[in-house]
Structure 1
Amino acid sequence: PWLCAFVSVVSRQFSQKEFLLILFLLSCHATKPNLLNVHLVPHTHDDVGWLKTVDQYYYGDRNDIQHAGVQYILDSVVDQLLKNPDRRFIYVETAFFYRWWKRQSADVRRTVRRLVDEGRLEFVNGGWCMSDEATTHYSAVIDQMTMGLRFLNDTFGPCGRPRVAWHIDPFGHAREHASMFAQMGYDGFFFGRLDYQDRSRRRIAREQELLWRASDSLTPPMADLFTGILPNGYNPPEGFCWDQSCDDPPIRDDPDLEDYNVDDVVKRFLAIANTQAKVYKTNHIIMTMGSDFQYENANLWYKNLDKLIRYVNGRQANGSRVHALYSTPSCYLQELHRANLTWALKTDDFFPYADDAHDLWTGYFTSRPALKRYERISNGNLQTCNQLEVLGGPISRNGPFGKGDSQTMKKAMAVAQHHDAVSGTEKQHVADDYARRLAGGWLRCQVLVSNSLAALSGSTAERIYCDKLNVSVCPLTESSSKFSVNVYNPLARPVSWPVRLPVNGTSYKVSDAEGRSVDCQVCVCVRNRGFAVNELVFQARAPPLGFTTYSVSLLRDGPPAASTRRRTPTAIQNKVRPPLCLCVLVLQFLRVTFDPDTGLLSGLSNLETKQTIKLTQNFYWYNASDGNNSKSDQPSGAYIFRPNSSTPFVISRTAKTETVQTSVLQEVRQWFSPWVSQVVRLHGDSRALELEWTVGPLPIDDDLGKEVITRLDSSIQTAEYFYTDSNGREILQRKKDFRPTWILRQSEPVAGNYYPINSRAFIKDEVDQLTVVTDRSQGGSSIQNGSLEIMLHRRLLYDDVRGVAEPLNETSALFPEGLVVRGRLLLSLDRPPTAADAHRPLAQQAVLQPTLTFTDGEPRPNTRGRWSPCLQFSGLQAALPPAVHLLTLTQWDEDSVLLRLEHQFQSRESKENSRPVTVNLQKLFSTLEILGASELNLSANQWKDEMKRFHWTPQTGM
């Protein structure tokens, strides 16, 4: 081909960067500067699971649910691209493409590589999936993007590198995602969904293409990202869908036939193009020609698009000012950049999303809370697996316990980031499949972790994993009189972590790695779904990026388990108020008070800073709309949160309580109803108050769904402001009934004020800041001044008509009457200037919790007959500074590892920890010798010094 011949000439005269730019320009069709250029972008949107599982979508199975088969789409598109060199196609989901590529012959692979090199097949976005933006943690997003982009890099080289981020389907857009995309080297970002009020205003102002300044901390333009809002979501214009799933008539261009329709098609297309041009700034507009799982028979689309382009452009001879062409998002973006205009600037995010006055997509912030928690646990397990694969060396992949691997877990976690996965908006059997994949990945990682710990400790004793400790189930600790607990800490700083183990004895001795006795306590178990009657509690202290080992022995003649004191609140028992000691928890750093009349939390004090606030906490539910009311027929569902009243129903105004008070642990156990309970817990050296809630099964006897919240009401003067994180990283300010970029007409006073909380939220005034750290992604808000509410659980009886076609009514074999969910909130009270120094490390610790493994009996000799010499290990020479977080440590190839260090504080967030920090990589690890280092971009698919991005100019004064 002429292009290949030209390449052989220019490649000798230009640098690689210049050559790739020339190649890119050649792959784009010529536009006409004096006409309206309509960029037609053939595409398919292939959900990595939604109504069907990933496997079912790929193979085209279960077409009784939805007709979709991704393998046939790729087969058909490649075939059709070869028939006309003018044709273009973009592909997004690397998880599917990777699977298809593995099954292709050498000839097909050569053909596809040529199509990619010539720009006829272009990859956009390029992550393993198109991730959700509300319920994903930034570390997991970076991992899944890295996996997809690495495959494209390794397979196609620089020509396979996506230049455009493409999130056409997620239900709202996070600022941190835009920041990450900018740092990954993308030139622009396109999406399809935004609030209907925001879109209306932007159309009038011609601001549907803008510059998104996505970080307060990074110097512009480091986190600036050109952002375009697509005109039809991601669908074709009305009347121009030519897939086998569509009903629009084809172009009938035989003038001898009675139903000849070329004139009508061209007239309608020109009208649509000219109307669209009025709400965009340049003489270039984009039209997405495709939709969900389309192009399975690509001939239908391309035959009609060929005709459309030919007949539309043929009208130019008669004075038409419209020029249609096959294009891609990169080619379109190139033309916008050439226009050299200034663009409106945005600094907030695109949450919450509504597509009508009463249709707020804020329910999915909490939907499927158990899956959301399992995904978060799995993220921590994957980081442990990755780290130990590096620290343990090659033996970790093939050692005494067999062959282990991290790839299975990486793929499972990557798939779980999809916008219909961790979001909770999939069918039940698909949610089960995501969980099954995560469980299977962890089993493969367990072998790797056991091999690595054996190499690092010198002990080949069998390691037991107790993955059901949240319900106090661990057969080894329940039955053994002597066992060891290995605590691996994936953070690059030492941690103190409460270990709670189900046991049947009443007294135990716990010793640390140096043989010193550790304070411990046995309490009556309240979380039991197994056979244990008690829980052993002690505080473990683990070194940075390392492990420590604790020995546990049953004492036959020891003291009994800690006693509990039960009481019924005087408000419902009408008896004399109990002694004050039953209503106060006090340990080293915190003091917690309870109202003796109700048994509810009433106050919180920080003993270090001498702060005290009034603080009450209770549980409520919103009745879900069933769609039968005068305002709207929209019901609550997996996506939509729509309570039928702005005032929630209190579950109980009092709580029956049981108190445990020891030097190691203090608890108030609260029972609000048969389906809501909580343990308010203080650990000895903790600066955070733990609220361990258990909710479910939600009763549905009244035929109404329930959306359960917990609400914290404080004496803090918030003035309607509150703060939530963006994907677990930077913090954004929120204000009730307010949007920074348009005047809001609030029609849903509760749902319209809900925002995603991925790891933490807080309220503050000049004196006090109350921070809540969550253990999963949840929705929340501050509806009343001084309050913070977080949605915990949802059970709904109606579908919300957004495609999933089933109500969010989770049951299982274990919970046939409805799902029971347990979770944990951590509360901290600090002064606003220093609060971040406490809550950021606390949030990281909630995401990357220690991994516990168990061995039966005394430490055993290794295979050479020697006693294990290493009960404690750290992979670092010293802990990293508080401002620095070790985000990634994973094996890249045989001779190199991928290391990501991040400054985890925003600018001006902390007086001490927002400052720049220097880290000496040569002195970082204790067991690894660093021979050299090369810096890459955030997604590790470009060298940092070669990353060049388009420069965009914001409008004056912005």
Structure 2
Amino acid sequence: MASRRAASSAVAAVLSLLQLGVLCFPARQFHASEPPCGYKSCPGTQPSMLNVHLVPHTHDDVGWLKTVDQYYYGDRNDIQHAGVQYILDSVVEQLQKDPARRFIYVETGFFYRWWRQQDQAMRHIVTQLVDEGRLEFINGGWCMSDEAATHYTAVIDQMTLGLRFLNETFGECGRPRVAWHIDPFGHAREHASIFAQMGYDGLFFGRLDYQDKARRMKTKEMEMLWRASDSLTPPMADLFTGVLPNGYNPPDGFCWDQLCNDAPIRDDPQLEDFNVDDIVKRFLNVAHAQSEVYKTTHIIMTMGSDFQYENANLWYKNLDKLIHYVNAKQSNGSKVNLLYSTPSCYLQELHNANTTWPLKTDDFFPYADDAHDFWTGYFTSRPALKRYERLSNSRLQTCNQLEVLGGRRSRKGLFGEGGSDSMREAMAVAQHHDAVSGTEKQHVAFDYAKRLAAGWGPCQVLVSNSLAALSGSDAPRVYCENLNISVCPLTESSPKFTMNVYNPLGHAVMWPVRLPVNGTAYGVFDAKGSPVDSVVLPVYQASREVRGHKGYAINELVFQVQAPPLGFTTYSISLLQNGPPPTPLENKAPLSIQNKFLKVTFDPDTYLLSSLSNLETKQTIKLSQNFYWYNASAGNNAESRQPSGAYIFRPNSSTPFIISKMIKVDSVKNAVLQEVRQWFGPWVTQVVRLYKDSRQLELEWTVGPVPVGDGLGKEVITRFDTNIRTSGLFYTDSNGREVLERRRDYRPTWDLKQTEPIAGNYYPINSRAYIKDKDNQLTVVTDRSQGGSSIADGSLEIMLHRRLLYDDVRGVGEPLSEPGEDGQGGLVARGTLLLALTPPEKAADLHRPLAQSVVLQPLLSFQQGAPQSSSQLEFSGLHAALPPAVHLLTLSQWDRESVLIRLEHQYQAKESKSFSEPVTVNLQKLFSTLEIVGATEMSLGANQWKDQMTRLDWKTSSGEQPQRQSPSDPSPWDVTLNPMEIRTFLLRVMQH
């Protein structure tokens, strides 16, 4: 199969082909005998007829009601009858019987597993089917990702993983042309932008708001051009987008899977129950009705559904008959033509129609399938899993980077899918729309977390190897998984230890560290031997309760670290025998806490926050904060019987219950930090922290176990109420990148009839949200994906936790009531929110890098004793920090000689006076340990050379047809990035 590889194995054969120092990789050559895959393989249509594109497909969730393994093998059919391996077996067998038949497959993670189990004869058959366009890969990611709770970094990674396998296995014929997101519950603009930059020609999905769909059907706007960026020059982020007519199911009455109950086509005229005429008549009625709401003489029908085609003969036998008998009516004047097709072939016909399309510039959130059924609960469902996924993403990026920086020594002792491979696959699976979304069964959620933990194991070995190679210290290295609850056996028991801080960002970072200890005073020294201000505090009572018997530290050692860009620094920590005692806590709240940047005041009666001031800009806002819970609907409302569940958020009332109006507090002030520890009740606590050199306020919240003994499910929020004049507007990010304006009780695309004033105004927050007026902007940076809204002017609320007592009847079949660690009680969730107050025109300069530092956190590792005398205590993988506007999105080993990098302009156009301008980076001057001898630009998905990437052009209803622009780099090595642009390069490197 080596001759089929386009972007990986071909690299080694052409590394000597250098022109102007830039790698030039030849494309796979097409000859007269080249397989007619892609658009060339599409069947003919009838221009004077209504062409019905029948698309045989299966939707195979990478975990949902069963685990990934159970779905693949067909295990636990008592939960759900589904076995992916049998689907692929059966489909391949049936495709061989008739060259007209087509099938599309989506989830590369499942196909990869199946492919590895096939012999060469079967692989040859499948390759021929792919070459002839009869088996077509659509979407191509490892999974079909969620769009609300995913971060763009992880989305790009999981797409790249799937696309690379298809490219290396099937070459150009394995490259998907169409994105296929038929099941996610709302659609993010950033996803569309990513697909466009990966070279896709179109996107089809199945779910959109019921009001939006009704309007689009009336106006024939079920298909459109989605302009998915305000910053990228059209058509860079333009993507043709179509709404499928039946979600992703067949039309009613035409399902012929073994899981279906519809009658087969009985075409023996001698039979009493001969039904061909009836089926043809009903099908023609369905086709004509569908054509009334679409714009061209082509319509698409999805002939398949969840885990269908395990016995593909049932489907194909009936579809063959349907096509035959419906088309036979053409001799009697019928103008309907049926054909086996694919989404790509359907898209090509829409393009050939040469018509204009409506333009969309907002997104498809929130999604509702009925008046009281808003799918906005899953923005927060399973908050601990959401946090673990985000933390795992940071670890994966660190693992990838250190594999490159440490060179071959980093993989010492690792074989097969060691190192970053297993972590990469675990993270890819976690992006699935029933994984990080929190909409899976409990045992499946445990399996996702288990996979992430198992993936980190080999990565830990790789990271340790790399740090040993770069530092010269091979002493055993320990990673503490539970620092957030004050657990780390090494720091708790060691009188002397070393801490390594690795920073995965391309900019230097300052980061607070809190280490569990049992001593009362410690000396902390940086890599230069200079003392570092530190303080010892008693462990927070809530941390003691959460950790249980995992740890026994009575104190925390707190200090701030500074780490170089893409590198590490080392701190030495020693117990002092005659040091000062820990800073005592005071059982009262101070009137205020402040550093040189911020001042926070507290109400003297309630001890709650009362104001926030930026001392640099002389801004002050009123700011009160508290915790509340919405009473989750049990499905017994007068308006609707819809309960709140894993997917759906439906409060019984628009007014939440306050958890406490008066709180208990402890507080402490010292040279390192000031903090107020707030106790709102037995299941809600918070620490308000202000570090010495911080421009943001940290709020560490702990919620749970959420009590349900009163028979009420609870949706727990924190709410910030200010005097900022918001006029119904607030702002949320899209998958961690561009920010979208939201308006309460409003949709940009249609006249909204608001039926759920709370749930209908909730939006996903991936990394930040803010409210602002002309003078002030309050930004909240989150440490995971959460749902949030501004229900009243000047207010911003974020949902932190959910514990519910009823299933919401969307398939998961169990209430969202996560158990505690002992399998009883309920889940305790802990996290942080960072608050920043700035003038609106300066806000992005702070919250963009702040959000990136939360997403890609420093990795701490520990060694017993003092540093080895020969150790290198500080290292940076960059010659210099990247420009402020530039983010190193990807640095990973591609093959033995090549490295994949992505450089990203992290500011939107006009967002920052300082940084929303083009910026140029020299590739050869980036890395301190790598000599770059060649570079070739690729698509965002890294499965095409950029200069060979072509996409279909589309005209909007305004007649606009943007012209594509080539990058204007000043030299082969100098790369210019415009606002929000991501550029991907395959580098040939030599290790220093």
- Scaled by the length of structure 2, the TM-score of the pair is 0.92
Cα deviation 1:191-220 (Å, max 9, x = unaligned): 000000000000000000000000001100
Which residue in the other structure is 1:574 paired with?
A: none
Which residue in the other structure is 1:552 paired with?
A: 573
Which residue in the other structure is 1:895 paired with?
A: 897
What CA distance in whole angstroms lies between the structure 2 residues aligned with 1:414 and 1:18?
A: 38
What CA distance in whole angstroms lies between the structure 2 residues aligned with 1:326 and 1:587?
A: 68
Name which of 222, 236, 252 aligns with 1:208.
222
Name which of 799, 802, 818 aligns with 1:794.
802
**Structure 1 moving runs of 4+ over 3 Å:** 14-26, 399-404, 812-815
Letter in 2 for 1:796: L
What CA distance in whole angstroms lies between the structure 2 residues aligned with 1:814 and 1:629?
A: 34
Equivalent residues in 2 for 1:750-769 (5 A)? 750-769=758-777
Name which of 688, 705, 713 aligns with 1:697.
705
Letter in 1 for 2:320: D
Paired residues of 2:477 and 2:861 also in contact (CA < 8 A): yes
Which residue in the other structure is 1:313 paired with?
A: 327
Q: Does 1:651 align with 2:659?
A: yes
Letter in 2 for 1:701: G
Letter in 1 for 2:951: R
1:757 and 1:720, CA in 2 relative to 1: closer, same or farther beyond 3 A?
Answer: same
Letter in 2 for 1:734: R
1:112 and 1:402, CA in 2 relative to 1: closer, same or farther beyond 3 A?
Answer: closer
Q: CA deviation at 1:46?
A: 0.1
Equivalent residues in 2 for 1:471-490 (5 A)? 471-490=485-504
Q: CA deviation at 1:948?
A: 0.2
Which residue in the other structure is 1:730 paired with?
A: 738
Cα deviation 1:274-317 (Å, max 9, x = unaligned): 00000000000000000000000000000000000000000000
SS of equivalent residue, structure 1 residue 893: coil
Letter in 2 for 1:948: T
What CA distance in whole angstroms lies between the structure 2 residues aligned with 1:407 and 1:420?
A: 22
Letter in 2 for 1:789: E
Equivalent residues in 2 for 1:485-634 (5 A)? 485-526=499-540, 527-528=543-544, 529=547, 530-567=551-588, 582-634=590-642
Which residue in the other structure is 1:443 paired with?
A: 457
Q: CA deviation at 1:629?
A: 1.5
Paired residues of 1:402 and 1:447 also in contact (CA < 8 A): no
Cα RMSD of the aligned pairs, angstroms, is 1.5
What CA distance in whole angstroms lies between the structure 2 residues aligned with 1:813 and 1:441?
A: 21
Paired residues of 2:130 and 2:174 also in contact (CA < 8 A): yes
Which residue in the other structure is 2:877 paired with?
A: 875
What CA distance in whole angstroms lies between the structure 2 residues aligned with 1:613 and 1:919?
A: 40
What CA distance in whole angstroms lies between the structure 1 residues aligned with 2:689 and 2:812?
A: 39
1:25 and 1:432, CA in 2 relative to 1: closer, same or farther beyond 3 A?
Answer: closer
What CA distance in whole angstroms lies between the structure 1 residues aligned with 2:399 and 2:745?
A: 44
What CA distance in whole angstroms lies between the structure 1 residues aligned with 2:106 and 2:890?
A: 25
SS of equivalent residue, structure 1 residue 566: coil
Q: CA deviation at 1:404?
A: 4.8
What CA distance in whole angstroms lies between the structure 1 residues aligned with 2:698 and 2:34?
A: 55
What CA distance in whole angstroms lies between the structure 1 residues aligned with 2:285 and 2:520?
A: 80
What CA distance in whole angstroms lies between the structure 1 residues aligned with 2:33 and 2:357?
A: 29
Equivalent residues in 2 for 1:639-678 (5 A)? 639-678=647-686
Letter in 2 for 1:168: I
What CA distance in whole angstroms lies between the structure 2 residues aligned with 1:690 and 1:16?
A: 58
Q: Does 1:775 align with 2:789?
A: no
SS of equivalent residue, structure 1 residue 833: helix
Paired residues of 1:725 and 1:758 also in contact (CA < 8 A): yes
What CA distance in whole angstroms lies between the structure 2 residues aligned with 1:683 and 1:427?
A: 40
Letter in 2 for 1:647: T
Cα deviation 1:99-151 (Å, max 9, x = unaligned): 00000000000000000000000000000000000000000000000000000
Cα deviation 1:420-479 (Å, max 9, x = unaligned): 000000000000000000000011100000000000000100000100001100000000
Q: CA deviation at 1:630?
A: 0.8
What CA distance in whole angstroms lies between the structure 2 residues aligned with 1:356 and 1:400?
A: 52
Q: CA deviation at 1:662?
A: 0.5
Cα deviation 1:217-244 (Å, max 9, x = unaligned): 1100010000000000000000000000
Paired residues of 2:181 and 2:205 also in contact (CA < 8 A): yes
What CA distance in whole angstroms lies between the structure 2 residues aligned with 1:19 and 1:550?
A: 64
Letter in 2 for 1:916: P
Cα deviation 1:679-724 (Å, max 9, x = unaligned): 0000111100000000000110111100000000011000000000
Q: CA deviation at 1:401?
A: 13
Which residue in the other structure is 1:290 paired with?
A: 304
Paired residues of 1:401 and 1:450 also in contact (CA < 8 A): no
Which residue in the other structure is 2:397 paired with?
A: 383
Paired residues of 1:163 and 1:186 also in contact (CA < 8 A): yes
Q: Provide structure 2 residue ranges, at least 5 long, that are not aligned to the other structure.
A: 1-27, 961-992
Q: Does 1:171 align with 2:185?
A: yes
What CA distance in whole angstroms lies between the structure 1 residues aligned with 2:31 and 2:223?
A: 27
Letter in 2 for 1:832: P
SS of equivalent residue, structure 2 residue 462: helix
Name which of 98, 101, 107 aligns with 2:112.
98
Q: Does 1:58 align with 2:56?
A: no
Q: CA deviation at 1:868?
A: 2.6
Name which of 323, 330, 339 aligns with 2:353.
339
SS of equivalent residue, structure 1 residue 37: strand
Q: CA deviation at 1:812?
A: 3.4
Which residue in the other structure is 1:136 paired with?
A: 150
Cα deviation 1:810-853 (Å, max 9, x = unaligned): 00343621000000000000010110000000000000000000
Name which of 895, 907, 910 aligns with 2:912.
910
Q: Does 1:850 align with 2:858?
A: yes
SS of equivalent residue, structure 2 residue 667: strand
What CA distance in whole angstroms lies between the structure 1 residues aligned with 2:799 and 2:31?
A: 50
What CA distance in whole angstroms lies between the structure 1 residues aligned with 2:751 and 2:34?
A: 44
What CA distance in whole angstroms lies between the structure 1 residues aligned with 2:870 and 2:596?
A: 36
Q: Does 1:185 align with 2:193?
A: no
SS of equivalent residue, structure 1 residue 834: helix
SS of equivalent residue, structure 1 residue 932: strand
SS of equivalent residue, structure 2 residue 212: helix
Q: CA deviation at 1:753?
A: 0.0
SS of equivalent residue, structure 2 residue 930: coil
1:620 and 1:839, CA in 2 relative to 1: closer, same or farther beyond 3 A?
Answer: same
SS of equivalent residue, structure 1 residue 231: coil
Paired residues of 1:398 and 1:404 also in contact (CA < 8 A): no
Cα deviation 1:499-526 (Å, max 9, x = unaligned): 1000011100000001000000001110
Which residue in the other structure is 1:10 paired with?
A: none
Quick one: percent identity of the two aligned structures?
74
SS of equivalent residue, structure 2 residue 510: strand
What CA distance in whole angstroms lies between the structure 2 residues aligned with 1:618 and 1:401?
A: 51
Name which of 939, 942, 950 aligns with 1:940.
942
What CA distance in whole angstroms lies between the structure 2 residues aligned with 1:401 and 1:36?
A: 56
Paired residues of 1:211 and 1:224 also in contact (CA < 8 A): yes
SS of equivalent residue, structure 1 residue 149: helix
Letter in 2 for 1:667: E
Equivalent residues in 2 for 1:128-277 (5 A)? 128-277=142-291
Q: CA deviation at 1:15?
A: 6.8
Equivalent residues in 2 for 1:65-80 (5 A)? 65-80=79-94
What CA distance in whole angstroms lies between the structure 2 residues aligned with 1:505 and 1:401?
A: 42
Paired residues of 1:584 and 1:594 also in contact (CA < 8 A): yes
What CA distance in whole angstroms lies between the structure 2 residues aligned with 1:433 and 1:815?
A: 15
1:879 and 1:816, CA in 2 relative to 1: closer, same or farther beyond 3 A?
Answer: same
What CA distance in whole angstroms lies between the structure 2 residues aligned with 1:830 and 1:946?
A: 44
Cα deviation 1:19-51 (Å, max 9, x = unaligned): 979653442111000000000000000000000
Q: Does 1:688 align with 2:696?
A: yes
Letter in 1 for 2:819: T
